[in-house]
Amino acid sequence: MALIVQKYGGTSMGSPERIAAVAERVERARAAGDDVVVVVSAMSGETDRLIKLAKSVNAQPPAREMDVLLATGEQASIALLAMALAARGVPARSFTGAQVHILTDSAHSKARILDIDNERLRACLAAGQVAVVAGFQGIDADGSITTLGRGGSDTTAVALAAALKADECQIYTDVDGVYTTDPRVEPRARRLDRVTFEEMLEMASLGAKVLQIRSVEFAGKYKVPLRVLSSFQDGPGTLITFEDQGMEEPLISGIAFNRDEAQITVAGIPDRPGVASAIFGPIAKANVEIDVIVQSIGQDGLTTMSFTVHRNDYAQAMALLAGVVADLGARSVGGDDKITKISLVGVGMRSHAGVAATMFEALSAEGINIRMVSTSEIKISVIIDEKYLELAVRTLHEAFGLADAKV
Ligand code: ADP
Ligand code: ASP
Ligand code: MG
């Protein structure tokens, strides 16, 4: 008998029929003799609806109250799934994050899980019941409800699997695994049978929202066997694995993209020590994260600094820089929030040269201008105009033969 944690996302819980289908899948796992803990998301569209509702009441809702509101989406889902299971004669019990003591820090809307007390879940399983746990939410030391950031139910599932030492954590979603790129953008994308934690971590952090990045970090840290599957059809899905020495490494495993960035350029900065910290200090202080940074080689004593921030932070960062630029005596500050970052990810890049050259050549053949480049051991990212996103993804998918490669 195995202990399985199954997580069902918003689309998988999106209607009464879909909830019934989830209940059936859970029943099947139990019939196979497994103990099952189920983590669910809010019904699709519900979290967005609640955010809109909050903003219609207060343009800047207090973070604590926002979390109280958003957590209701998952609370509705656990009750509905427990009811659907009961309708099939499957004994089940629903739990909010607080009821299973998912203790987090107090960073509302992006809280981190600190501890889970799994006693109640163990008792529920020992009593022969399915435990249905609300994803995305926890409770802080003061007893306030917190949420884990968009897509956070993945992290709840993996954290519970780690705490319970589950045999597998299964993430059921609306695609049947992790693909070479988002199949909504490139219909020729191919499902990967396996992907390494390292690659999955990069893909998630670079924009592939199929798994929340924290969930992959958790799974890697606590060695949780993790699989992504479809809730709509049966199949093997994609297994997230530790690097397998015997496996032939594909050069590129996937292409990720992120539409949430904006570019800021400060031009004509007097080129002297301390200017970078004068520019980035105030931004860091405001908790705005910087992603790609490019500084041009100074000419005539002047230099240019370009970097990207999250689109949500764009206006704030521009406002902060207006003052800094005046103090520094820089010429201008400009920006563009219609950009996108596209990244190639693959552990095979470590041992192969020429990936960047092939990437740049393929993009230039389509007339796509590269504004910024950033590389690390197993990824190359470029910033381009947002309007070229689809064309760029498809061009690179083709250039690296991702549709046909056999893993
Ligand atoms: P859920 O609601 O089940 O959590 P999400 O919408 O968060 O589902 O994640 C699944 C979506 O992730 C897919 O519908 C797909 O469009 C998108 N996606 C992005 N990149 C990839 C990828 N490389 N492989 C599979 N899906 C991807
Ligand atoms: N409901 C939350 C969201 O939409 C959490 C999740 O679905 O994982 O982001
Ligand atoms: Mg998700």
Name the pLDDT band for 296 (thresholds 50, 70, 90). confident
**263 part of a folded domain:** yes
Give how far Cα 273 sits from Cα of 163, 270, 284, 295, 349, Å: 48, 9, 18, 13, 35
**Of 41, 51, 70, best ligand 2 pocket probe by most atoms within 8 Å of the beta carbon:** 41
Specify the DSSP class assigned to residue 243.
-
Question: Is the pLDDT confidence value at 208 over 80?
Answer: yes
CB 10 within 8 Å of CB 18:
no
**207 part of a folded domain:** no
Regarding whether 16 and 165 lie in a shared domain, the answer is yes
- Give the mean pLDDT of 224-239: 96
Q: CA-to-CA distance for 354 and 346, rounded, in angstroms? A: 13
Ligand 1 pocket (Cβ < 6 Å) reads: 9-12, 41, 151, 173-175, 178-179, 181-182, 184, 208-210, 254
CATH of the domain at 357: 3.30.2130.10
Regarding whether 170 and 29 lie in a shared domain, the answer is yes
Regarding whether 278 and 140 lie in a shared domain, the answer is no
Each residue's pLDDT tens digit, 80-116: 999 999 999 999 999 999 999 999 999 999 999 999 9
Each residue's pLDDT tens digit, 367-377: 999 999 999 99
Give the phi and the psi of residue 199 in degrees, each rounded to 5.
-70, -40
Q: Pick left, alpha or beta for residue 191 (phi over 0 → left; psi -120 to 50 → alpha; otherwise beta).
A: beta
Is residue 14 in contact with ligand 2, taking CB distance under 6 Å?
no
**225 part of a folded domain:** no
**304 part of a folded domain:** yes
Is residue 147 in contact with ligand 2, taking CB distance under 6 Å?
no
Alpha-helical segments (H) within 8-152: 16-31, 46-57, 63-87, 119-126
CB 16 within 8 Å of CB 79:
no
Percentage of the chain modeled with pLDDT above 70: 98
Cβ-based neighbours of 101, under 8 Å, separated by 6 or more: 115, 116, 117, 120, 139
Regarding whether 129 and 33 lie in a shared domain, the answer is yes
Rounded to the nearest whole angstrom, what is the distance from the C-alpha of residue 252 to the centroid of ligand 1?
Answer: 19
Partnered with residue 39 across adjacent β-strands are 7, 133
Regarding whether 163 and 32 lie in a shared domain, the answer is yes
**Of 182, 186, 190, 210, best ligand 1 pocket probe by most atoms within 8 Å of the beta carbon:** 210
Regarding whether 384 and 265 lie in a shared domain, the answer is yes
Range of the domain at 141: 3-174
Name the pLDDT band for 405 (thresholds 50, 70, 90). low
- Residue nearest atom 4 in ligand 2 by C-alpha distance: 47
Regarding whether 169 and 58 lie in a shared domain, the answer is yes
Cβ-based neighbours of 120, under 8 Å, separated by 6 or more: 95, 99, 100, 101
**103 part of a folded domain:** yes
CB 43 within 8 Å of CB 77:
yes
CATH of the domain at 96: 3.40.1160.10
Regarding whether 391 and 260 lie in a shared domain, the answer is yes
The domain tally of the chain equals 2
Looking at residue 248, what is its pLDDT?
Answer: 64
**115 part of a folded domain:** yes
Regarding whether 355 and 264 lie in a shared domain, the answer is yes
CA-based end-to-end distance of the chain: 31
Regarding whether 145 and 288 lie in a shared domain, the answer is no
Question: Is the pLDDT confidence value at 216 over 90?
Answer: yes
CB 188 within 8 Å of CB 246:
no
Which atom belonging to ligand 1 lies closest to the Cα atom of 185?
16
Each residue's pLDDT tens digit, 159-204: 999 999 999 999 999 999 999 999 999 999 999 999 999 999 999 9
Q: Which of the listed residues 142, 174, 206 is the one where a domain comes to its end? A: 174
Q: Which of the listed residues 174, 191, 216 is the one where a domain comes to its end? A: 174
| Ligand closest to CA 136 | 2
**345 part of a folded domain:** yes
Is residue 42 in contact with ligand 2, taking CB distance under 6 Å?
yes
- Residue nearest atom 5 in ligand 1 by C-alpha distance: 210
Q: CA-to-CA distance for 283 and 289, rounded, in angstroms? A: 8
Rounded to the nearest whole angstrom, what is the distance from the C-alpha of residue 42 to the centroid of ligand 2?
Answer: 6
| Ligand closest to CA 254 | 1
CB 369 within 8 Å of CB 385:
yes
Whose tokens are 């949500």? That residue is 312
List b or e across 21-55, with b for residues whose CB sees 16 or more CB atoms inside 10 angstroms. bbbebbbebbeeebbbbbbbbbbbebbeebeeebe
Each residue's pLDDT tens digit, 111-160: 999 999 999 999 999 999 999 999 999 999 999 999 999 999 999 999 99
Give how far Cα 390 sits from Cα of 125, 212, 254, Å: 46, 22, 15
Give the phi and the psi of residue 288 in degrees, each rounded to 5.
-90, 125
Rounded to the nearest whole angstrom, what is the distance from the C-alpha of residue 150 to the centroid of ligand 2?
Answer: 5
Name the burial class of residue 242, with classes exposed (0-12), middle (13-18) and buried (19+) by CB atoms within 10 angstroms of its CB. exposed
Rounded to the nearest whole angstrom, what is the distance from the C-alpha of residue 135 to the centroid of ligand 2?
Answer: 8
Its pTM stands at: 0.93
**34 part of a folded domain:** yes
Regarding whether 152 and 20 lie in a shared domain, the answer is yes
Q: Is 403 helix (H, G, I), strand (E, B) or coil?
A: coil
Regarding whether 276 and 134 lie in a shared domain, the answer is no
Each residue's pLDDT tens digit, 49-78: 999 999 999 999 999 999 999 999 999 999
Residue spans of beta strands (DSSP E) within 54-190 = 92-95, 102-104, 113-116, 130-134, 137-139, 145-147, 168-173
